[in-house]
Amino acid sequence: MKRTHSAVLAALALFVISHLAAIPVALWNPDFFSTHIAQEDGLIESLTAIFLFAAGMVLIWRARQLRALGRNVQAGLTWLYAALYVFVAGEEISWGQRIFGWASGEYFLENNQQAETNFHNLIVGQQQLASTLFGNWLTPVLLLYLIVLPLLYTRVSWVRRAAYALAAPVPGRMHAWLAVIATAAMGVIAGTYRQFELYEYAFSLISLMIFLEPRNAGMYGAARTNQEYDLQAMPDAAE
């Protein structure tokens, strides 16, 4: 569809421009990067929340497409993915607390690392909840999804079946390369305070692009192209 492709091109341009601008700043003036670009409620954090929310809205659209095709289980899973993205978008900006200026409740004042109304900064057992739940495994899992899944999807039949059963939007090669670039950027600006705000921003943009134009768009009833793979049309012999 022309509209989705135009949106993907706009997101891609924003990804490239923002990284070309942010990385030199982080290298040459890390203090400015931390206090004016990646600061709390700054440009990157706000855009991350917007793109995460937009990704959630696209997933709702995809869920409605699946529901129209009678794929109720996959539609339900996609609604779940959409809710997760909207939740993370809300968490990113503490549910608008600093935007609208309302105060945290007593529980969050006492138990939140930043005294804000969000869950990922809650302190549980003297550890931040996000660290307790996700530790160091979240980034590797995301990279497996973004980089490894596209490689296996066209080669391994059970991977295709799993993606179909889970209604997982499969990244394309472009998305995989963008993930590699975003990860490499973290190495380039390693040690810069709040550097991972740029990483989260990149992930939000890549997610939006994937959901708009997944490699397995045929799952949603979209017209197939030479680069799309429909599970039902691909023989198991391809494994």
205 located within any domain = yes
The residue type of 109 is L
Q: Which of these, 2, 7, 15, lies nearest to 178 by C-alpha position? A: 15
Q: Which domain holds residue 146?
A: 2-45+136-238
pLDDT at 28: 97
Q: Which of these, 102, 95, 103, lies nearest to 41 by C-alpha position? A: 95
Q: Six-digit token pair at 178?
A: 């963008």
The residue type of 102 is W
92 located within any domain = no
DSSP assignment of 125-144 equals: TTEEHHHHHHTTTHHHHHHI
Cα–Cα distance between 177 and 171 in angstroms, integer? 10
Structurally, the chain folds into a number of domains equal to 1
161 located within any domain = yes
pLDDT at 231: 47
Positions of the chain with pLDDT under 70: 1, 125-136, 222-239
93 located within any domain = no
pLDDT at 222: 66
18 located within any domain = yes
157 located within any domain = yes
